[in-house]
Amino acid sequence: MVTIRELVTILRDIVRSDELPLGQVRAFQEAVWETPETDDDASAWDLLIDLATDMEYYVPDPELRREHPSYFGDDRLIEEIQATLEKLEQAEESLRES
């Protein structure tokens, strides 16, 4: 079981990595799916679950990516991760303000 903070660290590591290792992506997915969500952080978990699901369509190999129009590569993976991190930060700021 991992915390949201630990999952965010994994995502930041993926973004900072020179090479996008498929293993890190799959490890993030497994961690999300194996960790029970808590009611306190339901919106954050929803964002993380959505991202983990979208990552199913991440295919680093351009040749294999051509097999299905839903597959995407490194650039979109980084965009998806960064968008999720921004949404998580916004949600955290909103909680602090309330």
Provide φ and ψ at 44, rounded to 5°.
-65, -45
CA-closest candidate to residue 35, choices 78, 57, 80, 5: 5
Q: How confident is the model at residue 79 (pLDDT cuts 50, 70, 90)?
A: very high
User: Could you tell me if 30 and 6 are in contact, meaning their C-beta atoms sit under 8 angstroms apart?
Assistant: no
Residues in the chain: 98
pLDDT in tens, 14-30: 999 988 778 999 999 99
Higher pLDDT, 3 or 56: 56
Query: Is pLDDT above 70 for 33?
Result: yes
The structure's pTM equals 0.89
The Cα 83–Cα 39 span in angstroms is: 23
Domain boundaries, the chain: 4-97
